[in-house]
């Protein structure tokens, strides 16, 4: 499973499937931009109080 999908740990299978769809529909450059944006969001979410 891709690390930036760990925001919702209760749904790993569905999110992994989403990652596979993203990989198949987007070019490497687009996917890289998505990964960077997702990691930024994950960092921002981690800084928020529970």
Containing 33, the helix (H) or strand (E) segment is helix 28-47
Which pLDDT does position 34 carry in this prediction?
Answer: 79
Candidates 20, 25, 28; CA nearest to 2 is 20
**Number of structural domains in the chain:** 1
- When pLDDT is averaged across residues 3-27 and rounded to a whole number, the result is 55
Which pLDDT does position 2 carry in this prediction?
Answer: 52
Domain coverage including residue 20? 3-47
Q: Is this structure's pTM higher than 0.85?
A: no
Q: Which residues contact 7 (CB under 8 A, 6 or more apart)?
A: 41, 42, 45
Q: How much is the mean pLDDT over the chain? A: 64
């Amino acid at each position: 499973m891709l690390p930036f999908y760990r925001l919702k740990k209760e749904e790993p299978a569905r999110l992994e499937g989403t990652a596979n769809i993203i990989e198949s529909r987007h070019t490497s450059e687009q996917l890289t931009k998505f990964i960077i944006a997702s990691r930024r969001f994950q960092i921002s979410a981690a800084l928020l109080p529970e």
